[in-house]
C-alpha cells in the first residue's frame, strides 16, 4: 500500500463508506458512479474524512441486492471496519476513463458560470444530483449574478446549449424568472 496520496486537488470523490457489513470486516459503500459498481474498478482508494487521509487497497467487492459491499486489504475485524464509516472514497483524476466529445464528469461542471440566452449571469453550478428523469444542476448566486436566487436547472440537451470549460461557463436556455 502506498502511503503518499495524490494531492487533494487531483482527487475525485467516487463514493463513501457508510457502515459495516457482516462480521468479517467488510464495508457498505454508497457509490456516486454510474453504474454504481464502477467504483470497484479502482484497486487503490484514498479515503478522506475531516482532514484524515488513508490509503487502502480493494481486495474484492460485489453488488449484493441494492447494497455495494467492499472488502479492503488487511481489514478483517468488524469493529475496526466500523471506524471507516464516513470516509469518502477518492481516486486521482488521471485514473478516470476518458470521455467522448460532449461528455463531462460532474466535477468538471461544478463551478461553471451559468449564462442565459440574454447574456445574464444566473450564478455558478454548486453541485448536481440525480432524479428519476434527468440530472439537475443547483445554480447558486455569485458575485455579478442577476439576483440572489438559487435555481434548479435540468441537465438536458434542451436546457444546456453550450459548455466551455476553458472559459468556465455554460450557456443555457432558461427563463431567469423561472
- Domain assignment present for 178: no
- pLDDT tens-place string over residues 54-89: 999 999 999 988 889 999 999 999 999 999 999 999
As a whole number of angstroms, the distance between CA 65 and CA 60 comes to 16
| Structural domain contains residue 101 | no
Contacts of 35 (CB under 8 A, 6+ apart): none
C-alpha grid cell, residue 177? 424568472
Pair (151, 82) in one structural domain: no
Residue after which a domain boundary falls, among 44, 73, 95: 95
Last residue of a domain, one of 95, 116, 131: 95
Question: What is the extent of the structural domain holding 136?
Answer: 106-172
pTM of the predicted structure, to 2 decimals = 0.78
* Peptide linkage before 35 cis (omega within 30 of 0): yes
Each residue of 86-125: pLDDT tens digit? 999 999 999 999 999 989 999 999 999 999 999 999 999 9
Q: What's the CATH code of the domain at 153?
A: 2.30.30.240
147 with 91, same domain: the answer is: no
If asked whether residues 91 and 129 sit together in one domain, one would say no
Amino acid at each position: 500500500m502506498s502511503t503518499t496520496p495524490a494531492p487533494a486537488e487531483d482527487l475525485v470523490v467516487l463514493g463513501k463508506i457508510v457502515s459495516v457489513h457482516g462480521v468479517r470486516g467488510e464495508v457498505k459503500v454508497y457509490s456516486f458512479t454510474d453504474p454504481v459498481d464502477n467504483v470497484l474498478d479502482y484497486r487503490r482508494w484514498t479515503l478522506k474524512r475531516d482532514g484524515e487521509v488513508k490509503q487502502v487497497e480493494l481486495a474484492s467487492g460485489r453488488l449484493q441486492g441494492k447494497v455495494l459491499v467492499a472488502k479492503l486489504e488487511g481489514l478483517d475485524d468488524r469493529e475496526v471496519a466500523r471506524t471507516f464509516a464516513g470516509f469518502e472514497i477518492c481516486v486521482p483524476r488521471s485514473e478516470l476513463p476518458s470521455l467522448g466529445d460532449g461528455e463531462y464528469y460532474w466535477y468538471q461542471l461544478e463551478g461553471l458560470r451559468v449564462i442565459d440566452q440574454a447574456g445574464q449571469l444566473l450564478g455558478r453550478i454548486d453541485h448536481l444530483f440525480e432524479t428519476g428523469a434527468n440530472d439537475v444542476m443547483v445554480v447558486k448566486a455569485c458575485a455579478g449574478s442577476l439576483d440572489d436566487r438559487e435555481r434548479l436547472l435540468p441537465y438536458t440537451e434542451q436546457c444546456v446549449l453550450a459548455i466551455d470549460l476553458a472559459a468556465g461557463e455554460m450557456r443555457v436556455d432558461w427563463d431567469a424568472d423561472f
